[in-house]
Amino acid sequence: MFKEKPVISNQHGALAMAILPFIYAVIESGFTPLYIFFGLSWLFLYFFSYPFLSLFSKKPTERNKKWAIIYFVLSLLFALPILYSNPTILQFLLIILPLGLIQIYFAKQKDERNLWNDIAGILTFGIMGMAAYYLPTRQYNIEILLHPTLFFIATTFYIKSMVRERKNPIYMEISIAIHLLLAFTYSLSPMQAVFFAYLIATVRAIIVPSFGLNVKQVGMLEFPIIGVFLISLIW
């Protein structure tokens, strides 16, 4: 079963987006061994989404079916200690499931790059971060959802302006405008480190489009930007 190459998305930037809210939650709430199980369960659930959604966007293949099942089973196994410890965490499924249906819809339409589909994914990442924070604290922390979501929406417009919509100047203008608006907003808040992170991201959104980078280079550049943002959140 495991001799063939696993089905894994090559969108490494999306994986970084999925992990950041979880790491943010772990640091804000304090580490507990249950986070090992939560992190692995969430990782395999993320891996599951690619072959699963491919069943709707492409002609279903036995390989995608098999790996979707493998990832889902692994995610479920690692989730069992979490559900035993705190079964009320299942309440977050009430939000995640509708977001998943949105992604299935766009997969069926073969329009996975749609902005609303991107936002549904970003919200899912943030909700999982909130769930992680809730696990040991049994408290809701909207900031775990809010700050990464705003940053990733701004990043999404930037990425679109660099890749799929590079010939559409409106996306670059929106990208710069959102970055400037959020930088200004955080400049008025106590979160000055986040304001500094937005300054860096804004400079990137303004000058990098003139560099003529390819898709891989654009993606690689996002890792240090996301790293700076994470550091700013926990500063």
pLDDT digits (tens), the chain, 235 positions: 456 788 888 787 889 999 999 999 999 999 999 999 999 999 999 999 999 999 998 777 889 999 999 999 999 999 999 999 999 999 999 999 999 999 999 999 999 989 999 999 999 999 999 999 999 999 999 999 999 999 999 999 999 988 878 878 898 999 999 999 999 999 999 999 999 999 999 999 999 988 888 888 888 889 999 999 999 999 8
d(CA 40, CA 58): 27
pTM for the whole thing? 0.93
DSSP string of 4-70? SPP---S-HHHHHHHHHHHHHHHHHH---THHHHHHHHHHHHHHHHHHHHHHHHS---HHHHHHHHH
Interatomic CA distance for residues 204 and 214, integer angstroms: 15
Strand blocks (E) in the chain: none
Cα 72 from Cα 75, distance rounded (Å)? 5
Q: How far apart are CA 218 and CA 162, in angstroms?
A: 7
Q: At what angle do helices 192-207 and 215-234 cross, to 10 degrees?
A: 170
